[in-house]
Amino acid sequence: MKHEVHKEKSWAVIYDACLIDFPGPDFFSVDYWRSRQALTGEAVGRGSAWFVEIPGPVVLRHYLRGGWAAKFSRQSYFFTGITRSRPFREYRVMSELFELGLPVPRPVAALCQHHGVTSSGAIMTTRIDSSNTLADSLNGDELVKGVWTSLGRCIRRFHEAGLWHADLNARNILLDAEHRIFLIDFDRARFSPGKPVNGEGNLKRLRRSLTKFWPAGDVSAFQSAWAQLEAAYDK
C-alpha cells in the first residue's frame, strides 16, 4: 500500500497509489459512475453503499451528514481537521488492519469535503467477492458448520489487535463463497495497535443483532450458536 494525501481548498482525498491514480471528488460521485455504466448495484444497509466497477469491483459508501458534519464545521482549521474526519479515520483504521493481515476489505480511497458550514465524505473499499452479510445468511442458505467458532475466533483476533468496533452487528460481518469471514464498517471504530481491548460491549451488540435477524422460533439453535461463538472467543 502507498497512501497519498491530496488537499485542495474545499476537499481532500487519501488513496492507495498502488491501486488507483489520483482521484478527484468525481471519483466518489454515484452519478459519475452511473454515467459511465459502471454502477452494478446497491447494498442494503443504512442506505448508501453502491457497487461499482472502477474497473475491479469496489464498494462506494457515502457518510450521511450528522453529528460529524456539525462538529467538524465548527473547527475553523479545516486542514488539520481533515485527518480527524470520519472518512479519513476509517480509511486509516482499515489500512492498518489490512496490513496486519486481519480480514477486512482493502481500502481504496476516502474523500472529505467542506461546503460552507457543513462537511461530507465518502470511502471506497475493494468489494469482497461473492459475499453475503451474516444477517442475510441466517435466513438464506445453510450456514457452514463451524461458522460460529470461526466467528468467535475472528472477533477475538480483532480485539487482541486493539480494535474496538463501534457497531458490530450481523450486517457488518461478511461471509464469502469460501466461508471466510470479514469484518466491515469501521466508521467510528477505535484502534490502538497492540493494545487488546475489552470486547464485551461488541459481543453484546452482536448478540442483540443476531437475535433480531435470527429466524423466528429457533431459540435453541440460537443458544447453541451463541455458546459456540463465546467458547471460541474465550479460548
Residue 185 interacting with Mg ion (CB under 5 A):
yes
- Residue 125: name its binding partner from Mg ion, ligand ADP, none (Cβ under 5 to 8 Å by kind): ligand ADP
Rounded CA-CA distance 120/196 in Å is 32
**Catalytic residue, candidates 167, 176, 187, 218:** 167
Binding positions for Mg ion, 154-183, rule CB under 5 A: 172
Q: Do 227 and 203 meet the contact criterion of CB atoms below 8 Å apart?
A: no
Residue 153 interacting with ligand ADP (CB under 6 A):
no
Residue 185 interacting with ligand ADP (CB under 6 A):
yes
* Count of Cβ atoms closer than 10 Å to residue 176 Cβ: 14
Tell the smallest beta-carbon distance from residue 139 to ligand ADP (Å).
14
Rounded CA-CA distance 42/39 in Å is 8
Binding residue for ligand ADP (CB under 6 A) from 172, 175, 183, 209? 172
Binding residue for ligand ADP (CB under 6 A) from 23, 54, 61, 164? 61
Binding positions for Mg ion, 65-104, rule CB under 5 A: none
Bridge-partner residues for 4, per DSSP?
A: 15
Tell the smallest beta-carbon distance from residue 15 to ligand ADP (Å).
16
Listed residue (173, 175, 168) closest to 190, CA to CA: 168
C-alpha cell at 189: 471504530
Stretch that binds Mg ion, among 9-17, 40-48, 121-129, 223-231 (CB under 5 A): 40-48
Q: Do 174 and 133 meet the contact criterion of CB atoms below 8 Å apart?
A: yes
Rounded CA-CA distance 124/36 in Å is 17
Residue 120 interacting with ligand ADP (CB under 6 A):
no
- Residue 128: name its binding partner from Mg ion, ligand ADP, none (Cβ under 5 to 8 Å by kind): ligand ADP
Catalytic residue list contains 136: no
Tell the smallest beta-carbon distance from residue 32 to Mg ion (Å).
23
Instruction: Specify the long-range contacts of residues 45-52, CB closer than 8 Å, at least 24 apart.
Output: 45/171, 51/127, 52/124
CB half-sphere exposure, 229, CA atoms < 13 A: 18
Listed residue (164, 171, 183) closest to 102, CA to CA: 183
Tell the smallest beta-carbon distance from residue 93 to ligand ADP (Å).
12
Q: Catalytic residue numbers?
A: 167
Residues lying near Mg ion in the complex (CB under 5 A): 45, 172, 185
Interface ranges with ligand ADP (CB under 6 A): 43, 45-46, 49, 59, 61, 105, 125, 127-128, 131, 133, 171-172, 174, 184-185, 187
